[in-house]
Amino acid sequence: MASSMDLVKKGKETMRNKESHVEYLAFLSVKYSVDADNFFQALVSAAENQKSRCGCLSIECRSKQRERAVLLVTKGSKVVAQFIVPTKFLQNRENPLNNIRNADTLCRRLVKKPIDSHSVHVKDLRIGMKSVNLKAEVVEIAEPKFVVTRFGNHASVANALISDKTGKIKLCLWNEQINSVSVGDNVQIENAKIYAFKGERQVRVGKNGVLHAYRNVIAS
């Protein structure tokens, strides 16, 4: 079994590269002081029954496919997070959050460390840039189109227009990414690449990147 120091090292590297959703969910359970087992079961329940609660958090399944589910976590009128989780993850008999959740040093550091500390502005994006972190608002989303990739696979693709205070840029959404965001959402993008498509800059979040959507909700 890995030691706490191993878990801390693994967790720091994963949160920096965002290669796994497990550490992020463990981080949320610590930040909002909810039991890791109850939080995991609430995620499973939401995927199965549309909605669930865990302590101060409400969880809603916004969409579900055979392999993945899009979950929205809120606290009162505030959106905490929206993310995609594989259904295989939700089918674990043992809570995969526990090892990370129990690494207290890691959890304290994750809570204190801002995830978006190295975000750049739209105006500074250049074609060919890699490992790009960006925060922006979704302005519009085009209708999805069905395409055949160069590997012969069928896929859905849609272009979203995102903006920050410095400018606008297109964000290419593939398959389940399309249903994970809505117009008006704030998106946090990590480890993306900037491509040229028909003479325009375009942000693409590949398999090693992360796309999180948040909505600022104003209480009535």
Pairing of strands 132-141, 154-164: antiparallel
**Number of Cβ within a 10 Å radius of residue 2:** 11
Residue 176, classed as helix, strand or coil, is helix
Rounded CA-CA distance 18/10 in Å is 11
Rounded CA-CA distance 155/178 in Å is 11
Rounded CA-CA distance 58/81 in Å is 11
* Spatial contact of 209 and 177, defined as CB atoms under 8 Å apart: no
Rounded CA-CA distance 85/17 in Å is 17
Amino acid type, 204: R
pLDDT in 10s for each residue of the chain, 220 residues = 334 344 334 333 333 333 356 777 877 887 788 888 888 899 999 999 999 999 899 999 988 888 888 889 998 888 888 888 888 888 887 887 776 545 444 445 444 444 444 678 999 999 999 989 999 999 999 999 988 877 777 888 999 999 999 999 999 998 888 888 889 989 999 989 999 988 899 999 987 888 888 765 443 3
Q: What is the pLDDT of residue 99?
A: 64
Burial per residue of 135-152, b for 16 or more beta-carbon CB atoms within 10 angstroms, e otherwise: bbbbeebeebeeeeeeee
Burial per residue of 5-41, b for 16 or more beta-carbon CB atoms within 10 angstroms, e otherwise: eebbebbbebbeebebbbbbbbbbbbeeebebebbbe
Kindly tell me the burial class for residue 43, based on how many C-beta atoms sit within 10 Å of its own C-beta (0-12, 13-18, 19 or more).
buried
Kindly tell me the burial class for residue 164, based on how many C-beta atoms sit within 10 Å of its own C-beta (0-12, 13-18, 19 or more).
middle
The whole model's pTM is what?
A: 0.50
Q: What is the pLDDT of residue 85?
A: 85
* Spatial contact of 73 and 28, defined as CB atoms under 8 Å apart: yes
Pairing of strands 167-174, 200-204: parallel
Domains and CATH numbers, the chain: 4-112 (no CATH), 122-214 (2.40.50.140)
